[in-house]
Amino acid sequence: MKDILSISIVLVLVALFWIFLLLLRSKQTKKITSYKDLPGTELVRYCSKEVIIDAHTVHLKPSGTEVSNYTNGKKPTLWFFVGEPTLWNLSKNAITSKEIKVTIPVSSLEITKLTYRTQDLVVGYTNEYIGSARIEYLKPHKNSKRLSIFKIINSPIFIYSAATVSVGLPMYYLFSHLL
């Protein structure tokens, strides 16, 4: 009985540590009141070829996924990089398709619909965009679908699952032995 209790305490501490890391890594957004608040004048988005209307016009729709919109108050959001993203920026943001790179001027977006994440230099736009853009076709990468173990371990879903299991299992065993 004493061993189960000590293991439960250790696992609860591990779960609290994971939850602390998750909260620490959360990305907060702030409203933009002026285009001068941004460090660049162009926004970049990687997406599929399906958004192209003609040679210089695109139709971008906000994402409907819960995970993508979590940091913007769960509103459907289009996410753009401010300027040319670094490898670090690319690794910290989920990009579903890298067929084309769309570059648009920040002034073509309605300022009241923009939010900004300073941690990874990303702008969220809570409206769809139909307008002119510079379109660049990208070459496909051979290893683009391969998952790294580090990406899996650092994902919020894995951290949440690990915290849930490390708290839930010890509590189950503790209470099942007491009853």
Strand partners, 115: 31, 124
Summarised one tens digit per residue, pLDDT across range 15-63 is 877 776 665 555 677 888 888 878 778 999 999 899 999 999 999 998 7
Instruction: Indicate whether this model's pTM tops 0.75.
Output: no
Burial 41-63 (b: 16+ CB within 10 A, else e): ebbbbbbeeebbeeeeebebebb
The closest alpha carbon to 114, from 74, 69, 72, belongs to 72
CA angle 159, 167, 176 (to 5 degrees): 150
* Token couple for 93: 């943001």
Give the 3-state DSSP-derived string for the chain, with helices as H, strands as E and coil as C: CHHHHHHHHHHHHHHHHHHHHHHHCCCCCEECCCHHHCCCCEEEEEECHHHEEECCEEEECCECCHHHHHHHCCCCEEEEEECCCCHHHHHHCCCCCCCEEEEEEHHHCCHHHEEEECCCCEEEECCCEEEECEEEECCCCCCCCCCCHHHHHCCHHHHHHHHHHHHHHHHHHHHHHHC
Sign of CA dihedral 60, 121, 150, 148: positive
Place of tokens 């189960």: 4
Give pLDDT tens digits along the chain (179 positions): 567 778 778 888 888 777 766 655 556 778 888 888 787 789 999 998 999 999 999 999 987 666 566 666 678 888 899 988 888 888 777 777 888 999 999 989 999 999 888 877 888 898 999 999 999 998 876 554 455 555 555 566 666 666 676 666 666 666 666 65
Residue % of the chain over a pLDDT of 90: 20
Place of tokens 């943001």: 93
